[in-house]
Chains A and B, each alone.
Chain A
Amino acid sequence: MSKLIVPSSPHLHSGESVSRIMWTVILCLIPAGAAGVIIFGLSALWTIILAVVSAVLCEWLIQALTKRKISVLDGSAILTGLLLAYNLPAQVPFWIPIIGAIFSISIAKMAFGGLGQNIFNPALAGRVFLMASWPKYLTIFTKPFNYDAVTSATPLALLKEGKLVQHIPNWDLFLGIRGGCIGEVCIIALLAGALFLLIRGYISWHIPVSFIATAGLLTWAFGGKTFFSGDWIFHILSGGLILGAFFMATDYVTSPLTRKGHLVFGIGCGALTAVIRLWGGYPEGVSYAILIMNAATPLVDRYTKNRVYGTKIK
């Protein structure tokens, strides 16, 4: 950030700043978290608190040790911890969110140079790290409204194992009455937060819409026994698709810069998600899809540059 190129005047200050955007996104995520706590009980709240606190402490510690500017209050570490917790089941052992948050902040974010330099979405990197390290804790989900240790599989896992006998009502999926991670289940709360972000212009519609539309189209086309008979509404409403499409794929740092790039990024995410869900080894593929497209972002940026005003149209 040492070399800031300022174009010629006039300039207009919009009043926006990194921390203001981060705090707004955090506020928009709170309804989904609250719904998760209501559905899965207080253990969900503990998981969220542990992840957020350890993410903030870890970032503060690294910045203090390396004598960098302390910027934990800009909200980005809190957002990372929050998104990580939203991607975990409610009843994980207490050290899972702590280690995940430490990995997210220290390896996926600070080792690359801090906010604005990371290639991969830190929260998702932390989740995938936990998933690869302790898979048995990350695939046990609490049954909704059963606050004791009754577990249930996610609808997608049931589908993958061929055990999805009775149809789960779409309305239940929409309200979040199903097994799943803390922040991904309550679609209506997520959509309310996302709508606010869209209206404020903090995210554009390009990534979420192309992401969800591509995933829906592909699962509709190939998800059923014959072509074009897949249950696309089920696929859109289950798993982490809504959370991923609106809140994690749209991360400024790890997504392409232009609108055209956004569309390519969203379509890629959606296609990878559908491929992993339908033919892959895992029941859910949103986090892997976003991380793979994060890796492709520099390439997408390179081929979707905007035409510089005044230059020739090819």
Chain B
Amino acid sequence: MKNSFKELIKGLIHENPTFVLMLGLCPTLAVSISLINGLGMGVAATFVIIFSNILIAALKDVIPDKVRIPCYIVVIATFVTITELVMKAYFPPLNRALGIYVPLIVVNCIVLGRAEAFASKNKILNSLMDGIGMGIGFTMALLLISGIRELLGSGKLFGYNVFSNFEPMLIIAMPSGALLVIGLLLGFFNFLKGRKA
């Protein structure tokens, strides 16, 4: 049990998928314009990571080694389709905002990366914990980036105005602003890590 708890917390900070493993940057750059989008993408990806990790860990002995990647993709695509249909049915505005990036979770490097690097070599319980940790880590990173971008780029948080008299920094709401924010945050975290070491 202690071991699986370790798998859970490593994804939060120590092996954070966005800031340490540098995975899944494409959806991070694209959807982190507002907190709602970031949260939606984070939750959707977390769901997919958890269930694909469980299923792949359960099936790892019957999947032939040579065709494992196509098999993983089929498993992941199944859960992404479920996510997309649920999102379309119950959260249509969010689905419209995220657009093509919901189906693109299929090729999100985090999901495939965890399947290949962790779930295919570990037991179901540990894979579940790994999936939860990685999903929460990804969501936290998305919330941090999208919070900064929404605050500076449009002066709002969760769609509500924060400042009464604020000139939004439009560049932060553009893709170039996403690269800037991620780069600066990455530099900041590396600085913290270097000081600890």
* A and B interact physically: yes
Residues of A within 8 A of B (CB): 107, 111, 129, 132-135
Contact of A111 among B167, B171, B187 (CB under 8 A): B187
A135 and B169 CA atoms in complex are apart in Å by 10
Within 8 A of A (CB), among B142-197: 167, 169-172, 174, 176, 180, 187
In whole angstroms, what is the CA distance A134 to B153 when docked?
11
Residues of A within 8 A of B187 (CB): 111
Complex CA distance for A107 and B170, rounded to whole angstroms: 17
What chain B residues lie within 8 Å of A134 (beta carbons)? 167, 169-170
A132 to B180, CA, bound (A): 13
* Size band of the interface chain B makes with A: under 10
Which A residues lie within 8 Å of B169 (CB)? 133-134
Q: How many A-B residue pairs have CB under 8 A?
A: 15
B residues near A133, Cβ cutoff 8 Å: 169-172
Determine the residue in chain A with the shortest Cβ distance to B153: A133
A239 to chain B, nearest CB (A): 22
CA distance A135 to B176 in the complex (A): 16
Q: In the complex the two chains form, what is the Cα distance from A135 to B171 in whole Å?
A: 10
What is the bound-complex CA distance between A129 and B187, given in angstroms? 20
A129 to B180, CA, bound (A): 11
The 4 residue pairs across chains A and B that have the minimum distance between CB atoms: A132-B171, A133-B171, A133-B169, A133-B170
Could you write out 15 A-B pairs with CB less than 8 Å apart? A107-B180, A111-B187, A129-B171, A132-B170, A132-B171, A132-B174, A132-B176, A133-B169, A133-B170, A133-B171, A133-B172, A134-B167, A134-B169, A134-B170, A135-B170
Query: How distant is the Cα of A147 from the Cα of B180 in the complex, in angstroms?
Result: 37
Minimal Cβ-Cβ distance residue in B for A93 = B167
Q: For A111, list chain B residues within 8 Å (CB).
A: 187
Return the chain B residue nearest A136 by Cβ: B167
Which chain A residue has the least Cβ–Cβ distance from B176?
A: A132
Q: Which residues of A contact B176 (CB under 8 A)?
A: 132
A95 — nearest CB in chain B belongs to which residue? B167
Q: Could you tell me the distance between the alpha carbons of A312 and B170 in the complex, rounded to whole angstroms? A: 54
B3 to chain A, nearest CB (A): 41
